[in-house]
Structure 1
């Protein structure tokens, strides 16, 4: 570029010298200087015209021949065009490759613009949602009209996927996962989870049916074993019969818990919800747990740090009673004799909290994430000593999920554990 400027300055200097000499000898110095400037301006305008014609026509790949600064301008623009053409070809190749990859996916992909309108979709999404070319630019809500999807889409909380029945195929179940990217654009991944949904439904039905069918024969067995225990005086049979009675009762508890879990999984959240006085409910749970805690000479306390009016939570009273009772009974079971168990209720501006704390043996950190899994035991040997089913915390987790709440667990070996239920405060 500096060489071009140098050439251009030399051209200007030559014009000025020639015009000065002619003007000096002809006694028309100013006129010749003006003439020289006009010639240079005309030359510049001609070069501009050549540049404009070359850019507009694009008839030739090569730029016009020129010297000085204009030669460099033509060459630089030509180089930029070549680079741009190469980048465009590379970008088109990448786009083509992405389209080929998206076309090969079994999952549906839908890209929405910032307004939530359809921008791109792959063949799988076309099959699942029956989209066509004329639908581009329309709102996605026009094609997925399920109220749950509309709420999910508009609330903007996309941490968890949403499962819905297909609007096109009655027998299919679809899972929608939305991800934000760019300037408020959205990517929707649609998966066909029909097989997983059917397997889960089969599992739930199997557990519910088996548990229900086992309940009646177990009741009969319990009755006969209790009769034998009460009427048998033979020393050799007393211990076996008592063990049979203990195990049959434990199996009855297991079946009852499985039925509770099955009901929580199969009934829709919000069933039988009504305002519940949480303090009264916790007082009932505490009185029920005191029957067991007094046998172990434990200290059980309930503190409600609520300075306002009694806390009313819309929910299912039977489900919440089951969840709170499971937490308290677990604390009683695993806290040693003469231990301390504290029940605490408090709230802040957005949530209210219920915690159960004990000074029992505690739980190691690696076990905490799995405590709410069905039948998970920190120590399998504790199962027989406590009489638990391994389903209590799973029930607690499901009940809290159905009330938009969560369970937090903190524990330290040798210093006890704290289980905290966190509920959103009711909207006023």
Structure 2
């Protein structure tokens, strides 16, 4: 601090001494102070011009108060310039990387979803062009209106749709929050994966269809055989029939999944839930043969919009699984109730329970927690996969809660938009048909 004020103090002292010598000390001091003020004002003006970019750092004051300030200001300016240069180089590197990224990237405003920036791949797959599409609504809206409400809700599931440039190419869109005012739209080209998935579906459907006839023939001949006609086959004939029936069930379930995967939509009909609930209870009692306590409860008092055949197939799978995997004497409850922001049909059992590590994979095809127990009980390993596909077609989801040793709850969760007021006569507890069976249509 002394370096800042010492020069001015020396000047004032010398001026005062000179003034004493000539007989005008105060006048000399006043002249010295005026000179100091004028000099400081000129130095301040140079700093101001530097701040406005009119002077280079070399023209800044070098002495006095403003010289010290100029040195600190110049050092701070150099640091700022270095940081700005590093940020600029990082931004250039990011933009080059984003430009070379093989998937389309589009930066959108949160408020109006106008395009702020996009890379080259967005021009190839989404048809965006510079400068016409910059600061304009996303052009893909013109081809796919469903993208607008999807963009309005961040955190949604990815959206699959064809490319507006080439409809034969399939894109999977994801919306990633980029900042408080912008989102990043990422489009992945899944054309090859879609084709491979279609090949797999066709293969499973064709093989299952071709296996159905020979299995029917084999099963028919096995039914014609009797232990009395072929005593040598007596030990193995029941097992052959059992395995033939099991193979037939697997083929039928594979065909069911193939039909579900080929579905783009479902009939939007009224599903009377009261009769369906009664049918599920009767099916559970028939399968249980009096070995379990079965309780059915309707806390909803409404109907659903969807496909009765498909929903019955899904619900029936959950009920039959609960009966199969619950030891004798256990309790099974079927509840239709409000839950969270929607409604659900929940099937709860007091079975062995499922370890947490297995729950995320339960709906995979042929996945089994216990292979030996599943085969012993006659399961195909496809039931929950069928349930998952049926619920997906109804914009619903399967939730699973389980604790080892205490049982499990499998629930079909539907949105409230599928609820319908129950019509008079739909709560009379009558089943939908005589045999209580509602198969998925071919």
Cα 1:16–1:151 shift into 2, 3 Å: farther
Distance 1:319 1:357 in 2: 21
Cα 1:69–1:221 shift into 2, 3 Å: same
What TM-score comes out, normalization by structure 1 length? 0.87
Structure 2: runs of 5+ lacking an equivalent: 420-442
Query: Alignment partner for residue 399 of structure 2, among 395, 405, 408?
Result: 408
1:141 CA displacement: 2.5
Distance 1:15 1:147 in 2: 85
1:264 CA displacement: 1.9
Cα 1:130–1:410 shift into 2, 3 Å: closer
What TM-score comes out, normalization by structure 2 length? 0.84
Query: Alignment partner for residue 192 of structure 2, among 189, 195, 199?
Result: 195
For the pair 1:81 / 2:77, whether they are aligned, the reply is yes
1:374 CA displacement: 0.6
Equivalent pair of 1:108/1:189 in contact (CA under 8 Å): yes
Aligned positions of 1:113-262 closer than 5 A: 113-115=109-111, 116-135=113-132, 137-145=134-142, 146-158=144-156, 160-229=157-226, 233-262=229-258
Structure 1 window deviating more from structure 2 (5-14 vs 95-104): it is 5-14
**Which has the higher relative contact order, 1 or 2, with Cα contacts under 8 A spaced 6 or more apart?**
2
Equivalent pair of 1:161/1:176 in contact (CA under 8 Å): yes
For the pair 1:297 / 2:294, whether they are aligned, the reply is no
Distance 1:135 1:16 in 2: 72
Cα 1:14–1:264 shift into 2, 3 Å: farther
Task: Tell me the SS of whatever aligns to 1:138.
Answer: coil
Distance 1:11 1:126 in 2: 72
Task: Tell me the SS of whatever aligns to 2:236.
Answer: helix
Cα 1:277–1:21 shift into 2, 3 Å: farther
Task: Tell me the SS of whatever aligns to 1:342.
Answer: strand
CA RMSD of aligned residues (A): 2.9
1:61 CA displacement: 4.3
Which residue in 1 is equivalent to 2:432?
Answer: none
1:330 CA displacement: 0.8
Cα 1:88–1:297 shift into 2, 3 Å: closer
Structure 1: runs of 5+ lacking an equivalent: none
Task: Tell me the SS of whatever aligns to 1:426.
Answer: helix
Aligned positions of 1:358-369 closer than 5 A: 358-369=349-360
Which residue in 1 is equivalent to 2:423?
Answer: none
Distance 2:228 2:260 in 1: 41
Query: Alignment partner for residue 319 of structure 1, among 310, 313, 316?
Result: 310
Structure 1 window deviating more from structure 2 (164-173 vs 126-135): it is 126-135
Distance 2:180 2:11 in 1: 51
1:79 CA displacement: 1.6
Task: Tell me the SS of whatever aligns to 1:414.
Answer: coil
1:393 CA displacement: 0.9
1:251 CA displacement: 1.6
Query: Alignment partner for residue 354 of structure 1, among 340, 345, 354?
Result: 345
Distance 2:146 2:3 in 1: 67
Cα 1:18–1:394 shift into 2, 3 Å: farther
Deviations 1:231-251 (A, max 9, x none): 963332344333332222212
Structure 1 window deviating more from structure 2 (162-171 vs 206-215): it is 206-215
Which residue in 2 is equivalent to 1:282?
Answer: 277
Equivalent pair of 2:306/2:418 in contact (CA under 8 Å): no
Cα 1:13–1:340 shift into 2, 3 Å: same
Which residue in 2 is equivalent to 1:112?
Answer: 108
Task: Tell me the SS of whatever aligns to 1:147.
Answer: coil
For the pair 1:335 / 2:326, whether they are aligned, the reply is yes
**Runs of 4+ residues deviating >6 angstroms:** 31-34
Equivalent pair of 1:63/1:74 in contact (CA under 8 Å): no
Task: Tell me the SS of whatever aligns to 2:348.
Answer: strand
